[in-house]
Amino acid sequence: MARSGRSQSTVDEPLPLRPPGAPARLLFFGLVAAGTLLAWYGLTRWGGLPGFLLPSPAAVGDRFLVALRDGSLVRHTGVTLSEVLAGLGLGVVAGASLGYGLAKSPRAERLLSPYIIASQAVPIVAIAPLLIIWLGPGRPSKILISALIVFFPILISTIAGIRSVPNDLRDLMRSLRATRSQTLRLLEAPAAAPFFLGGLKIGSTLAVIGAVVGEFVGADEGLGFLVNLGRGLYDTALVFTALLVLVAMALGLYSLASVLERKTLRWREVGKDH
Amino acid sequence: MKRPLIPAFLMVLATACTPEAPPSPAALQTIRLPMGYLPSVQYAPFYVAEARGYFAEEGLALEFDYAFETDGVKLVGANDLPFSLASGEQVLLARQQDLPVVYVLGWWQDYPVAIAASASSGIDDPADLAGRTIGIPLLGGASYIGYAAMMSANGLPLDAATLQVIGFTQAEALQAGQIEAAVVYANNEPIVLASQGFPVNVLRVADYVTLASNGIITNEATLRDDPELVRRMVRAAVRGLQDTLDDPDAAFEICKRFVEGLSGETEAVQRSVLSESLLFWKADRLGYSQPAAWENMQRVMIEAGLLADSQDLAQAYTNEFVP
């Protein structure tokens, strides 16, 4: 017997889970942001924490506007963003190239993977001062640190993506006498795209961390420098301002990677409809 | 079951007969003391005072907390901790942001910052710095203050030299020739560099201007509510400082219990670091803060744009607790 006036089939079959639409996502984001702001305000208002330990949202807002008006925030953000984009680009090119090579050559992977994994066990903060000595205190050292952090997730996702191509499809390409570049363009790249773009989403946020680590160690520009400066001057509102811009930068890059993922992988949705 | 009365009696007798017996560990007040971020022979007075029981005699048990200087200042400013080690400029910077910290013991009588240049650079006078590229760990803190003070004391504008932020890689950058000079600590990098066969010319800021340097800070609440705690802390630290100055060899041996890597190849270098540090600690009255040093510090910081206005320095430091 049907309950609540629904048909029998509706009761027996679970409703498919549909991803929330854009308005619902925006509403959720707004609610979480408002809740966080309220909790933050409550902590500063009634938590007994002095402003130099936890500045109020209003104090951070004021500091943000001051830094925006005097041009320092835009200048330092531009520096960090340029390092992040260059590091991300370098890390993606290096990781994807080596990843493709290793995916195609299990022998090379067996030979090189111990070294690659070992390189990831070295804390980047420990070698950052050395990189700054070797490359000098300018932007190249920050770009390299950023690229080094991005490299590994891109490498691993590329290997996984290329290895995910079914053998029968490879056989099909071979039977059609496809060239190596045709196989890459028409089979391997589309098949590896979901993995690669997943790695890119991780790498885009890590690139921000990499650049800031470099700026922490030695820099006179960039948002990492601004955090250091704020700490040194006990200007905690400035520290929060720089951190919030860094978070926004990482979120922006992640969102761009997500948009790229949706656009690139649209063909998969088309395939599902048929 | 009979209680062992004789051993208990002997213990009571022994305790009663011991002159100035320190309080039992359970009775000691634990003090977490933020200091620099690594154990170092430069903290010898505190290690000596702890090892010889001077803090315990004052009813204190010290926990050395190796952390960033600014974090220690914040914790003291928030009254989460009663004491921290901090340099004079940190006190003024913190007070500018309404952190109620007060400097109560002037451990370093002279500012240890210096500018080191390779012996072949031709830099052997502050006037030679004009037009040069100088490496500096960061554009803030003691290094920047020291640089600003050196330039100011010699009538040079801040931008007379090109500053290059290189992190704490001064020794390596100097040897690699990436910079012509570096802002360093006079009691550390020049000694390390000389031991590596790279002699440097050292221009000590202290030779040109007196600045408030490292010491113990507390907060206004502790000064108001428990001045005796401040007195006990300062008294024990000064005893450790005096012992270190009187017998540096013994102090160095004590340091080995607190600092790793003081034996073997590095021993001679670290012993020299301690010897050089002693020169900055000597004073007719240990722990005394020189008013001129604070006035100079404030002036330099205002000139460098680090302080917006002058402060009431009588609120920033006191010699009231110095024995």
- The shortest CB-CB distance from A53 to any of B78, B139, B164 is to B78
Distance from the Cα of A228 to chain B's closest Cα (Å) equals 9
Instruction: Find the residue in A nearest to B141 (Cα).
Output: A232
CA separation (Å) from B269 to A35, A71, B110, B266? 56, 46, 21, 5
How remote is the C-alpha of B218 from its chain's centroid? 14
CA-wise closest residue to B200 among B217, B219, B177: B177
Query: Within a 13 Å sphere around the CA of B110, how many CA atoms are in the beta-carbon half?
Result: 20
DSSP state of B21: P
Helix (H) or strand (E) holding B258: helix B248-258
Query: What residues in chain A have their Cβ under 8 A from chain B's Cβ atoms?
Result: 49-53, 129, 132-133, 136-137, 217-220, 225, 228-229, 231-236
Q: Which residues of B touch A232 (CB under 8 A)?
A: 70, 93, 138, 140-141
CA-wise closest residue to A221 among A127, A133, A134, A141: A141
Strand order across the beta sheet in which B215-219 lies:
B84-86, B215-219, B101-106
Amino acid at B314: A
Q: Set out the domains of chain B in order of their start, with CATH numbers.
A: 26-109+212-316 (3.40.190.10), 113-207 (3.40.190.10)
Distance from the Cα of A241 to chain B's closest Cα (Å) equals 16
Report CB contact under 8 Å: B172, A133. yes
Interface with A, mutate which of B69, B139, B163 (most A CBs under 10 A): B139
Q: Which residues of B touch A233 (CB under 8 A)?
A: 93, 97, 140, 306
Report CB contact under 8 Å: A220, B139. yes
Report the C-alpha gap between A8 and A128 in whole angstroms: 65
pLDDT for the residue numbered A15: 58
Report CB contact under 8 Å: B169, A129. yes
Sequence ranges of the domains in chain A = 57-264
CA-wise closest residue to B306 among B132, B114, B148: B148
Q: Is residue B306 within 8 angstroms of chain A, CB to CB?
A: yes
Report CB contact under 8 Å: B97, A233. yes
Residues of chain A with pLDDT under 50: 1-11
Instruction: Find the residue in A nearest to B167 (Cα).
Output: A218
pLDDT for the residue numbered B57: 95
Handedness of CA A35, A41, A44, A46 (dihedral sign): negative
CATH of region A57-264, choose from 3.30.300.30, 1.10.3720.10, 2.60.120.260, 1.10.1060.10: 1.10.3720.10
Report the C-alpha gap between A106 and B122 in whole angstroms: 58
pLDDT for the residue numbered B19: 44
Report the C-alpha gap between A29 and A255 in whole angstroms: 14
Q: Which two tokens stand for residue A121?
A: 């066990």
Q: Spell out the residues 6+ positions from residue B278 whose beta carbon is closer than 8 angstroms to its own.
A: B244, B245, B248
Report CB contact under 8 Å: A229, B140. yes
Distance from the Cα of A113 to chain B's closest Cα (Å) equals 32
Q: Is residue B167 within 8 angstroms of chain A, CB to CB?
A: yes
Report CB contact under 8 Å: A228, B140. yes
Q: Which residues of B touch A137 (CB under 8 A)?
A: 135, 164-167, 178
Please state the ipTM of this predicted complex.
Answer: 0.72
Report CB contact under 8 Å: B78, A50. yes
Q: What is the mean pLDDT of each run of 10 residues along chain B (323 residues)?
A: 44 44 71 88 95 95 90 93 95 94 95 91 90 89 90 90 88 87 92 88 93 95 96 96 96 93 85 93 93 94 89 94 92
